[in-house]
Structure 1
Amino acid sequence: MDKQTVLVTGATAGVGAAVARRFAARGARLVLVARRGDRLDALAAELGRDDIHTLVADVSDAEAFAEALKALPAPFDAVDVLVNNAGIGVGRDLAQDSNLADWSVMVRTNIDGLIAGTGALLPGMVARGRGHVINIGSVVGEWPGPRNAIYGATKAFVRQFSLCLRADLLGTGVRVTDVEPGIIGATEFTTVRFGGDMDQVRAMYEGMTPLGPDDIADAIEWAATRPAHVNVNIVQIMPVDQAFAAPAVARRGG
């Protein structure tokens, strides 16, 4: 089989960087997308390959991102595996205490950016009769909880979008997978989520062992390397130290 081309968004940190390293080790041709060019250059240098294309782009600017993908040079334009990893969670306030700017950036990044990347590359996959769209969702896209009204809603979108893509792509040979992590250990994502408050970050992981970025990259690699006739619809992963809680109850004084 020809060398695969794998495009990873949010490639310079956390899960994205772990995915890039795994597919580089498999000999894949890589398109690495991130907002910061210096970090892209550093990752490309670390991987030490001559078949890497770096693209400085902000997925939250959906139109510009889509146009940049449509302008990828050959052979990087024939993407076999799209890993829609870029995402953001901003703020840990209750909905009634949150602000619209935080909500808006999550929608633009987690929904609009994912749509833009998929929409730009999907026609080529269908035309070639092969391809794999791997979206990064979250357990909070299925299981509700406090302080996740918009972030959880964006990840619920990722789940339903992925499943509906499967329905649309029936018969094309193109696969779709939604990978839904639980708690992942201290990453740049978590630091942003807590507004840089490292005390809160440390408190979140105190006394438990979270997932690591490579655990998620391992699941992505596994889904992407199944036989061509196999589609993994959803992979939901939690650390052993995370599970589900009973519905909350408000106790009122009588």
Structure 2
Amino acid sequence: MDDVEDEDGYFGERVAAKYDAESAVRFEPGVVGATVDVLEALAGGGRALELGVGTGRIALPLARRGVAVHGIDMSRAMVARMRAKPGGDGVGVTIGDFATTRVDGTFSVAYLLFNTIMNLTTQAAQVACFRNAADHLAPGGCFVVEVGVPALRKLPAGQDVVPFHVSPTRWAFDKYDVATQKMSSNYVEVVDGRGQYRSIPFRYVWPSELDLMAQLAGLRLRERWDGWTRDPFTNDSGQHVSVWEKPAG
């Protein structure tokens, strides 16, 4: 692994180079459009802060709507991919840990999407992230998190692994530790006849736990949906989009 990947954690150049292609379903116009619609409305003409801006999947189309977007990300490799895209120079970026890095000014909306809250692998880091988001918000501003509901119901009895991709040359599975709420996404791939293995650690988190983190940060729950189309969140939901508001007074 080269120095750039060490510096960029688990999202160095090797991952950045394939990120958009491997996440293609998330780049579909309908998915992006529904997400941007919600965030643009919440911005209400104000500024938006993306925690984990990555390759600009949401930041770039949101900026094209006229919203001033600033991003925080640890991975220079991912940000370089965004910079190479049309409009990539129009999104300000601060390199750093989005749980603790501060930028100037206040924002109408801060957002953390695509399970990225789970990249913070301790409860303390997740709590710090909520506090950091709240500190950036203007009164009445909102913090938005999109994250999956832990798939523990899918675990076979006595097992701790959930496969989520199987093909002749690629296998992927999540591994859970229910005692610590730690998990990992694991990828096995055959390239030119050689096997490659990659594992990324996460900490899964429940909606109620996120609500408590928000409360500790001085935020209150405003909305929770099954997804960006604002369908109701139910017992059968596999993900949620939650919106917490900073009190105006």
TM-score normalized by the length of structure 1: 0.41
As a proportion of its length, which structure holds more strand? Answer: 2
More RCO (CA 8 Å, sep 6+)? 1
TM-score normalized by the length of structure 2: 0.41
